[in-house]
Structure 1
Amino acid sequence: MSARAAGGGQPAATRLTAERRAQITEAAGELFGRRGYHAATMRDIALRVGVSPGLIYNYVEDKEELLLLVLDSLLDAYASSIPAALAGLRDPLARFAAAVDTYCRIVAERPEATLLAYQESRSLRRSLREHIKRREVETNALIADCISDGIAQGLFRPVDAELTAYRVVMMAHGWALKTWRLAGRMTIDDYIADSLEMLLGALLTPLGAQRRAEAAR
C-alpha cells in the first residue's frame, strides 16, 4: 500500500507535517499557559516536543503564529464538536443542552487555551485578533441558533439570542478561570448540570417547562 493510500489520499510527508504542527501547538499551549506567552521561548517548546530549536521553524514561522495556532485549535474544537453533538437532535431543548455540555467540556479539556484567549490575544497583531474575533462570533452562533430555535417554538422566552449565548460562554469559561476553586467543590459533570438548571430556569416558558418535564419522565 502506498503512503498516499495509507493516509486516505494525503501524502505521508504532508500528514507527518500536520501531526508535528499539532504536537508543537499542543506543547505551546501548555507552556504558554504555565509560564506565560512572553516567558515561554521557542527553545522551550522545541525541547518539549523533542525537536531541535532550529527545526521548529520548519513548521511554524514564529511564536506569534504558534499563539494563533493554539487559539485557532480551540475554536476548531468548538466548530467541529458542537455540530457533531447536535447531529440527529431535533428538540430545541435537547440541542441547547447538548451545545452547552459540549462547549463546557472543551473548556474543561483545554483550560490553558481558554485562559490564553483572555490573557494573550492582545499580543497578536490586529489582523490576527480580528480573525480570532470573527471565529468566536461564528462558534458562539452555534449556541445562539439553538436559543433562537427554542424561542421560535415557544419554549424559550424572547431573549436576545446572541447576548444569551455570550452569557452561556462566559459561564462555561468560568470553569477554566476559577478551576482552583470549582474543581475542589464539584466535578465538571456537576458544574454543567447546575449551570444548565440555572440557564433553563431563566429561559423556559411554561410550555418549555412542560416539555422538559415530559422528556424527563
Structure 2
Amino acid sequence: MKSRVNSKVSKQRNVDSSWLEDPKTLGMVKTQVENVDLVKARREQFVRSAIEVFCTNGYHSSTVKEIAQQAGVSPGLIYQYVSDKEDILFLALQLIVYTLKQGLPEAYNSTSNPVEKYCACFETYCRVIDANRHASMLTYRETKSLIPEHRGLIMGMELETNEIIAMAIRECIRDGFFIKVDVELFVYHTIMTAHAWSLKHWRLSRVTTIDKYIETNLRFLLASVLTDEGRVVFDKRPS
C-alpha cells in the first residue's frame, strides 16, 4: 500500500531531536550545562545509545558506563546533562510518545472524512512504531521503572495521543460510518495492533511488510465496526 499520507508521515518517521524540547518535560531533567543547543545535541547522542543498551541488557542491568561506551563519550560527560540513569530512561521513553503526539494531529487533519481520519491515524501510529521499534519495546518493559512523576507524565502524553484516535472513532459513529462501539476499548484495540509490529517483529518481518501489515490490519480492525455506508467510504479510499 502506498498511502497518500506517506509523504506527511515520513517527516515523523525521521525523528529529529524535537522530542527533547517538549515544554512539559524540558525542565524535568536537570543539567549542569547552560547552552540549550548543546544540551539537546548531547542528550540525543547518548539517549539513543541508551535505548540500544537498555533493550540489549535490560534497564536494571545496564550502567551509565555502558551507555557512555556505546555513545563514544565518558560517563562524566553524561552526568553533566542528567542526574542519574532514570533521567536517561525518562528521556528515552519520551521518544515514542512525543513523536506520536506530533504525528497524529497531522494525520487526523489530513482529510475531512472520518473513516479516512481513522485510517491515517492508524497508519501514522504503525509507521512511528516501525521507525522506533527499540524505543517502543522499551516503553513496554520499563515504564514501571520511572519515578511516579515521570511515569505519570508519560502516561498523560499517551492519553493525549489516544484521544486523537478517539475523536476519529466518535466522528465515524456520529456520521453513521461505524456502529456504536466502546470508543476507549476500540482505541486500545487499535494501538495494541500497531504495537504488535514491534513486539512480534522478529516473526512478522519475515512474513509481511509494514505496508501490507497496515492495510491488512485496517481491514481486520474495521470489519466488525463499519456500517454499509462506512464500507463504501473505506473501499473508495485514495490509494
Scaled by the length of structure 2, the TM-score of the pair is 0.81
Greater Rg, structure 1 or structure 2?
1
Partner secondary structure for residue 192 of structure 1? helix
Q: Give the corresponding residue for 1:211.
A: 233
Q: Which residue of 2 aligns with 1:78?
A: 100
Greater percentage in helix: 1
Match of 2:77 in 1: 55
Alignment length, in residue pairs? 206
Q: Which residue of 1 aligns with 2:184?
A: 162
Distance 1:132 1:152, change over 3 A: same
Q: CA RMSD in A?
A: 1.7
1:46 corresponds to which residue?
68
What secondary structure does 1:184 align onto?
Answer: helix
Aligned match of 1:100: 122
Q: Which moved more, 1:134-143 or 1:94-103?
A: 134-143
| Aligned residue number for residue 199 of structure 2 | 177
TM superposition outliers: structure 1 runs of 4+ over 6 Å = none
- Does the alignment pair 1:28 with 2:50? yes
Matched with 1:109 is: 131
Cα distance between partner residues in 2 of 1:148 and 1:20 = 42
- 1:149 maps to which of 158, 171, 183: 171
2:108 maps to amino acid = L
Task: State the partner residue of 2:8.
Answer: none
Q: Is the 8 A contact 2:93 2:135 kept in 1?
A: yes
| Equivalent residue for 1:91, pick from 113, 131, 148 | 113
Contact conserved, 2:68 with 2:75, CA < 8 A, in 1?
yes
**Counterpart AA for 2:172:** G
1:64 is displaced (CA, Å) by 0.5
Unaligned residue ranges in structure 1 (runs of 5+): 1-11
2:44 equivalent to 1:18: no
Quote the Cα distance in structure 2 between the aligned partners of 1:157 and 1:21.
Answer: 46
Query: Whole-Å Cα distance in 2 between the matches of residues 175 and 37 of structure 1?
Result: 22
Please name the residue that 2:7 is paired with.
none
- Residue by residue over 1:57-77, the C-alpha shift from the partner in whole angstroms, topping out at 9 and shown as x without a partner, is 111111101111111121000
Cα 1:119–1:214 change in 2 (3 A) is: closer
User: TM-score if structure 1 supplies the norm length?
Assistant: 0.89
* Structure 2: distance between partners of 1:194 and 1:215: 14
* Greater CA drift, 123-132 or 57-66: 123-132
Is the alpha carbon distance of 1:115 and 1:88 closer, same or farther for their aligned partners in structure 2, counting shifts above 3 Å?
closer
1:183-203 CA distance string (max 9 Å, x none): 110011111111001112122
Q: Which has the higher contact order (CA 8 A, sep 6+)?
A: 2
Q: Which amino acid aligns with 1:127?
A: E
Give, in whole Å, the separation in 1 of the partners of 2:161 and 2:56.
26
In structure 2, the partner of 1:7 is: none
Q: CA deviation at 1:31?
A: 1.2
Q: What SS class does the counterpart of residue 86 from structure 2 fall into?
A: helix
User: Aligned-pair distance for 1:128?
Assistant: 2.1
How high is the sequence identity, in percent, across the aligned residues?
39
When residues 154 and 44 of structure 1 are mapped into structure 2, their CA distance, relative to the original with a 3 A threshold, is same
Deviates most, 180-189 or 44-53: 44-53
Could you list the per-position Cα deviations for residues 74-95 of structure 1 after superposition, in whole angstroms to 9, with x for gaps in the alignment?
1000000111223331111111
1:171 is displaced (CA, Å) by 0.7
